[in-house]
Chain A
Amino acid sequence: MTPPSFIIIPLASAFLITLVGRKKDLWGPLLAFAATVAVFVLSLLTFFQLGTGIKVYEMGGWKLPYGIALVVDPLGAFMLIIVALISLTSLLFSVSYIRHLGSDWKYYALFMILVGAMNGVLVTGDLFNLFVFTEIAIFAAFGLVAYGGRAHEFEASFKYAVMASVSSSLILMAIAVVYSATSTLTMASISVALSSVGPGMKIWIGALFLAGYGLKAAIMPFHAWLPDAHSSAPAPISSMLSGVLIKTLGVYVLVRIFYNILGAPQIFLTTFLILGTLSILLGVILAVGQWDLKRLLAYSSISQVGYILLGIGLNTPLGVAGALFHLLNHALFKSLLFYNAGTLEIGLGTRDLRKMGNITRLLPITAHSSMAGSLAISGIPPFNGFFSKLVIIIAAVQAHLPFYALLAVVGSLLTLATFLKVQRYGIRSENPVERLQARPGWGMQTAMIILAVLCILTSFLIIPGIKEWVLDPVVAAVMNKTGYAAAVLGGR
């Protein structure tokens, strides 16, 4: 019963909201809250019950490899917890933020469809099912980016839609090539059949998937939609997009395809290293020169995803552990920073850093949590960003690649410079601010406090006792590579 409920609960609540939300305004947020809390509790239970095992659920009773199977392994369960946590805080934030943007039930329905589709990407074990859930999540994201009704939001959504349709066609062609080589669509059977196929075919498949899903993850040559889309969206949607969407649709799918299906050939690992380092440096150089707060945060998202790719390209347990830990941390502190930007936008009416003033007295929670978020992203101890970046840099040095480690350190220093600029101009500049245009609601403040506290608490994940309990099963599931197929097909 458990794996399909991750998909059924959000989608059923989305359609219930469209049915009853028209009549009474209060049902929309209530149903959305109930569904998200249920998914969060279920994901925690699943992760701690799973341990190092794997759970296979056949839809419709059809046996593998004829049917579509849902597969939950530690990597998927870990990401389910992250998605549920960030969507819970985003719902808390949006209750008061969306009031001034129009009718509510459409927003909540689209939001639940987004959460349901991302859960679907994380639990599926079939390649075409993955593609369908990716498309559903992308549609919900288009609608949510254009939700506010201002001119630049439509432009950003149009650019995002056109680029996503190019990448979808590339993914379809990749699926066609995989099907012609292996005659099956279940991911476990594909990895068994691909081990007897020549390296030329693997390079074709890998290149097409890298181009298609790399665009959804905003890796460097394919990143052009991200600054517009993430800066024009409303603040809770920016945190969902930047915190979880580019990671489930991009990084998780790339890890599945390149580690578990293709078995991590060396040429793609080198490509990950190069593209990851390029993202780190170019993302942060473009971020330093921005004066628009949300555009700056969007560019720094590109740079932090580069760190995750660098860790994944190293192909050592320490590197993969650092990359997954950084994935969790980035979701936490980037969401916190986007919530701060949203509060500043409501309070002061502007997103331009040059026009902001000193708000430590008027918005104390925003000021202190923004200090926590900025210290975490720059990698200052004892916040979690320091530990995850340290693990990635040590792993790079241990793998005899000191040049990449040096570039990662340079990127971290430039990130520190960027966020010092945000603090100096956005929070503590010299212009005095007399009064605010609007006060932030209780939901917004609660969401920011929760994330700021979690930024410190997750540093404890690096302690060796807790690390074996939480992070090591996930790393083992990734490094198992093609052992994933044996676990899915064999042991039932």
Chain B
Amino acid sequence: MIIYLLCFALFLIGLYGLITKRDLIKIILASGIMGYAANLMIVLFGYRRSGVYPILEKGKETAVMVDPLPQALVLTSIVIELGTTAMLVALTIKLFNKYKTFDISKIRRLRG
């Protein structure tokens, strides 16, 4: 139980960084931390008591294994977050090109 609460605390740290930091790069890093927290929670839900890694090898007999489905979900989720980070970095380069600053409180041409 304490593990899940720590995982949620990691998510809240990422959310804090996203809301309060003003540098564009730090916002991207904070959104990455939130993604890691969600992935960690998915993998932790697959743990079975005294289970081994879910791969069948030559010469070993089958034993109690941890659940492999959350691991497949996390693989897909990591690739999706890679795409999000790449898109955000590309937008940061273009924003620096146009606004000449990395400070998000100065990038406010749209208001109302």
Contacts and interface: CB of A to CB of B under 8 A. Distances in A.
Are chains A and B touching directly in their complex (CB below 8 angstroms)? Answer: yes
Interface size range on A against B: 35 or more
B20 to A, nearest CB: 13
A263 B77 CA distance: 28
A172 B95 contact: no
A362 to B, nearest CB: 29
Interface in B74-101: 76-77, 80-81, 83-84, 87-88, 91-92, 94-95, 98-99
Interface in A157-175: 157-158, 161-162, 165-166, 168-170, 172-173, 175
Interface in A102-152: 128, 132, 135, 139, 142-143, 146, 151-152
B15 interface: yes
B9 to A, nearest CB: 13
A146 B70 contact: no
Nearest to B8: A173
Interface in A222-239: 227-228, 231-232
Contact of B41 (A165, A173, A295): A173
A161 B110 contact: no
Given A166-B31, A173-B41, A176-B38, A158 B112 contact: no
Nearest to B84: A165
B112 A146 contact: no
B45 A176 contact: yes
A413 to B, nearest CB: 23
B70 to A, nearest CB: 7
Given A156-B110, A165-B31, A228-B110, A180 B88 contact: no
B77 A154 contact: no
Interface size range on B against A: 35 or more
A173 B95 contact: no
10 contacts: A142-B91, A146-B91, A155-B107, A162-B18, A162-B31, A165-B81, A169-B37, A175-B42, A175-B73, A176-B41
10 smallest A-B Cβ distances: which pairs? A172-B38, A151-B98, A180-B45, A169-B38, A176-B42, A169-B34, A165-B31, A158-B91, A135-B80, A154-B94
Interface of A: 128, 132, 135, 139, 142-143, 146, 151-152, 154-158, 161-162, 165-166, 168-170, 172-173, 175-176, 179-180, 185, 227-228, 231-232, 290, 292, 295
Given A132-B76, A139-B83, A155-B107, 12 more contacts: A142-B87, A142-B91, A143-B87, A146-B94, A162-B18, A166-B18, A168-B84, A169-B34, A173-B41, A176-B42, A179-B69, A295-B112
